[in-house]
């Protein structure tokens, strides 16, 4: 049986490889680099194919495909969201992704994206806060202390200079977990008994809860002027975290309006309620924060371009490392028109063995 040629072997980054790569680079440095990579792709936003993610919803969760292309490379992510999984000892969110060459259609990378999604989500949050949060922001409240919390806190530290994170979760065990994981990482960590306590003195408020339902994590009277809200948890139809009145007085910034109006906090508003696309702020064609007293809201639902950026960055970082294995995924017959002949030769080789 013939040995696959090099161009038929596809690099695969397993969970173990991803962890080794991230630790090799450094967690904060990885998220800082990802934020820069995502920002660079936001600056060329018009070059990308864009579509709302393809979602299959059930009563207990959602399974989604998130595709995009810049004309040179194509990427997609498979991702689920099942909040009840934690009761079975399973992850709420799991994912994997593929990066491919448009010219040939051949995949050039397959990667786990459970860890990478957490990294890129936090990097995107921090990138948005860099453009929208008050410049003096040094304190962040983290409402919801589950799987995303530590990533969000460290990304805000690396990109925005956050010095203190104030934690709250309805499950005290989650807060204890988060505080323990963040210990010794250069942040003042304050565990709080209520959401109201957590937001005291915070210039950035991040909400990241898991329940798939309309919820009010922040009420209007909890949010004073001059703060930036990073709303991460509302990311599918019927799932929100903020009271509608907050939205009515905030400057709202989104990734891709056709998707965010279906899945984000703004599903609570009229379809024509004005929002600003974040890429326009980064490119200087739209205004970000207007003044020190404004409430800004990044209605983050996650978009395929961010995953594309993350996959391309990982592909680049793999060069010269051993943090991947090569998969024999692509049939590579001697004659491209004789695929069946390849099977015949394998049959003959097996019979001779």
* CB contact at 8 A, 86 and 112: no
Structure tokens at 35: 């934020």
Strands of 139-143's sheet in order across: 188-191, 164-168, 139-143, 204-207, 228-231, 296-299, 251-254, 276-277
Pairing of strands 54-57, 276-277: unpaired
Q: Say what the alpha-carbon torsion angle 14, 23, 106, 36 is, to the nearest 10 degrees.
A: 140
Q: Measuring CA to CA, which residue among 33, 313, 352 is closest to residue 344?
A: 352
Residues 6+ apart with CB under 8 A from 303: 66, 255, 256, 259
Helices 15-25 and 27-42: crossing angle in degrees, nearest 10, is 100
CA distance 251 to 17: 40
CA distance 25 to 269: 42
235 is catalytic: yes
CA distance 169 to 187: 18
CA distance 4 to 86: 41
Work out the number of other CB atoms within 10 angstroms of the CB of residue 344.
Answer: 10
Residues 6+ apart with CB under 8 A from 301: 234, 235, 236, 254, 255, 259, 260, 263, 264
List the catalytic residue out of 33, 41, 70, 235. 235
Instruction: Return the active site residues.
Output: 235
């Amino acid at each position: 049986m013939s040995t696959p040629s090099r161009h038929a072997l596809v690099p695969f980054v397993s969970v173990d490889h991803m962890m080794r790569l991230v630790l090799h680079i450094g967690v904060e440095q990885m998220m800082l680099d990802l934020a820069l990579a995502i920002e660079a792709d936001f600056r060329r936003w018009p070059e990308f194919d864009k579509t709302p993610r393809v979602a299959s919803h059930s009563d207990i969760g959602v399974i989604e495909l998130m595709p995009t292309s810049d004309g040179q490379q194509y990427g997609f992510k498979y991702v689920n969201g099942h909040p009840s999984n934690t009761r079975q000892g399973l992850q709420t969110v799991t994912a994997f992704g593929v990066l491919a060459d448009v010219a040939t259609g051949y995949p050039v990378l397959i990667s786990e994206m459970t860890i990478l999604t957490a990294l890129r989500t936090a990097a995107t949050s921090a990138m948005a806060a860099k453009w929208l949060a008050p410049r003096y922001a040094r304190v962040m409240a983290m409402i919801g202390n589950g799987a995303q919390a530590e990533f969000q806190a460290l990304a805000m530290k690396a990109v925005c200079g956050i010095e203190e994170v104030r934690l709250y979760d309805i499950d005290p065990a989650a807060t204890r977990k988060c505080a323990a994981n963040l210990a010794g990482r250069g942040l003042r960590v304050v565990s709080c008994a209520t959401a109201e306590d957590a937001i005291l003195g915070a210039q950035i408020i991040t909400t990241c809860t898991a329940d798939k339902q309309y919820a009010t994590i922040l009420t209007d009277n909890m949010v004073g002027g001059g703060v930036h809200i990073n709303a991460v948890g509302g990311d599918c139809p019927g799932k929100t975290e903020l009271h509608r009145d907050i939205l009515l007085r905030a400057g709202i910034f989104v990734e891709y309006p056709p998707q965010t109006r279906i899945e984000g906090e703004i599903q609570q508003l009229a379809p024509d309620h004005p929002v600003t696309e974040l890429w326009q702020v980064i490119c200087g064609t739209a205004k970000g924060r207007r003044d020190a007293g404004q409430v800004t809201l990044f209605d983050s639902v996650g978009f395929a371009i961010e995953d594309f950026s993350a996959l391309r960055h990982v592909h680049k970082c793999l060069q010269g490392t051993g943090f991947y294995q090569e998969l024999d995924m692509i049939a590579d017959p001697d004659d491209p028109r004789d695929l069946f002949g390849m099977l015949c030769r394998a049959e003959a080789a097996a019979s001779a063995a």
